[in-house]
Amino acid sequence: MTVTPLGIPRRLLEFTLDGEPVRAPEGSTILDACRAAGKDVPTLCEGDTLTPKNACRVCVVEVEGSRTLVPACSRRAEPGMEVRTGTERARHSRKVVLELLASSVDLSTTPRVAGWLKEYEAKPDRFGPDAARVDEEPRVDNDLYVRDYGKCILCYKCVDACGDQWQNTFAISVAGRGFDARIAVEHDAPLTDSACVYCGNCIEVCPTGALSFKSEFDMRAAGTWDESRQSETTTVCAYCGVGCNLTLHVQDNEIVKVTSPHDNPVTHGNLCIKGRFGYQHVQNRD
C-alpha cells in the first residue's frame, strides 16, 4: 500500500465539459477533469510526475473562444470555460498528429497507440513510401541502456526527468532543430562518455520504448520477451536506508527489469543505479 499525502484543501471551480457542468479542484488541468469525468483523451508526452511539455499534441481539445485547439494536459481549467473533447475539429487534429507520428517513427512498442490509430482511423501510410522517417540503428554502447532513435517521438520526458524535475543530472537534452532534432548527450557522445549516472529514470518515463533496458532489448531481439508471462512484485530496495520502492518484473523466475511506483510519496518513481540495475545478486543461485 502506498501512502497518498493529503494536500491543502482546494476550492472547486465549475466549467462545462462536453456540455455537462463539471467541478474540478482549482489548479487542475483540463485533462485531470476529463479523467475524473471518465473521458479518455489520448496523451503521449504527458507524465504523471512531470510538468507537461505539451509537445505531442494528441490531447488537443476545443475551448470556446480559443483561436486554436488547446492541449488538455497543460491548460488549466478556468471557471466558466466551455471545453469540448470529441468535436470533429479535435478528432481531426488527433488523427493527423497520430498519422504524422506513426509515419515518422516506430510506435510498435508504444502502449495504447494501436488502439488510438484504429479509433481515429489514422492511416500513416498515406504519406507515401518515400515519407521521411527516423530510421536509425539503436545505439547500444553500454550494458544497461539502449537508445533507439527510431522510436523517439521527442516528448522531452527523459530530458525533464534527467534535468531539474527528477534527477538533476542534466546529462541529456535536445540537440539540433526541426525534423533533425534529436535527444542527445553532450557532443552527441556515447553514453559512457557523458554525464549520465545510469539511474534509469529516463527509461522509467519513456512512453515509446525508445529508451529501454538492455535486458528487455535483448529479450525482444531474441523473441523471448513476453509480458503476459511476467509478474510484478513491489518491494523495498535493500541497498540503503532510504526505502525506495522497487517493482520487480519477473518472467520465468528471472527478474527482467525493475521499475518504481510513481505514486510513492518518497521517490515518485525515481531510483538510482543500484536499485534499478543492481538485481543480479538476487538471482545468483551459487
Partner 1 sequence: MDLRFGDSKPTDEERAAVDALLGPPESSWEGADRSDADLRWARGGREARNRRDLLLPGLHAVNDRVGWISEGALDYLCRRLTVPPAEAYGVATFYAMFSVRPRPATVLHVCTDLACTAAGAAGLCADVESRLAPGSGVQVERSACLGLCERAPAALAIRAGETARPAFEDEARPGPQGGPGAQPPGEGNGKGRRGRTTQRSTAVCAPATPDTAVRAATAPETAPPEPPPATAVPQAGDPALTLLRRVGTADPADLDDYRAHGGYTALRRAFALGPAGVIREVTDSGLTGRGGAAFPTGRKWQATASQPDHPHYLVCNADESEPGTFKDRVLMEGDPYALVEAMTIAAYATGAHRGYLYLRGEYPRALRRMEHAIGQARARGLLGDDVLGQGYAFDIEIRRGAGAYICGEETALFNSIEGHRGEPRSKPPFPVEKGLFGRPTAENNVETLVNVLPVLTMGAQAYAAIGTGKSTGPKLFCVSGSVARPGVYELPFGATLGELLRLAGVRDNLRAVLLGGAAGGFVRPDELDIPLTFEGTREAGTTLGSGVVMAFDDTVPLPRLLLRIAEFFRDESCGQCVPCRVGTVRQQEALHRIADRTGDGAADDIALLREVGRTMRDASICGLGQTAWNAVESAIDRLGAYE
Residues in touch with partner 1 (CB under 8 A) = 54-58, 60, 68-69, 71, 74, 89, 92-93, 96-97, 100-101, 103-104, 126-128, 130-132, 153-154, 156, 163, 167-181, 184-189, 193-195, 197
Sign of the Cα torsion 87, 88, 91, 96 reads negative
Residue 114 identity = A
Nearest to 20 by CA among 65, 82, 79, 69: 82
E strands of 18-59, at which residues? Answer: 20-25
Q: How far is the CB of 211 from partner 1 (least distance, A)?
A: 15
- Give the CA distances from residue 154 to residues 17, 72, 216, 245, in Å, rounded to whole numbers and listed in that order: 30, 18, 21, 28
Q: 53 or 257: whose CB is closer to partner 1? A: 53
Which CB atom, from 32 or from 218, has the smaller least distance to partner 1? 32
Distance linking the first and last C-alpha atoms of the chain:
33
Nearer to partner 1, 54 or 267 (CB): 54
Name the DSSP letter for residue 167. T
Q: Which three cell numbers stand for residue 234?
A: 513491489
Of residues 201 and 215, the one with the C-beta less far from partner 1? 201
| Cell matching residue 15 | 466549467
Q: Which of 132/222 has CB closer to partner 1?
A: 132
Q: Which is nearer to partner 1, 113 or 256 (CB)?
A: 113
- Nearest approach in angstroms of CB 195 to partner 1 is 4
State the nearest-atom distance from the C-beta of 69 to partner 1, in Å: 5
Of the pair 78, 227, the CB lying nearest partner 1 is at: 78
Cβ at position 276, least distance to partner 1 in Å = 16
Shortest separation between residue 178's beta carbon and partner 1, angstroms = 4
Helix, coil or strand: residue 265? coil
- Number of H helices and E strands in the chain, helices first, is 7, 12
Q: Report in angstroms how near the CB of residue 253 gets to partner 1 at its nearest.
A: 36
Query: What are the Cα distances from residue 105, in Å, to 22, 124, 136, 150, 152?
Result: 37, 10, 10, 5, 7
| Partners of residue 247 on adjacent β-strands | 234, 259
* Least distance in angstroms from the C-beta of 169 to partner 1: 5
Evaluated on CA atoms 65, 67, 71, 75, the torsion sign reads: negative
Q: How far is the CB of 94 from partner 1 (least distance, A)?
A: 8
Cβ closest to partner 1, residue 143 vs residue 170: 170
Who's near 231: CB < 8 A, 6+ residues apart?
Answer: 249, 250, 251
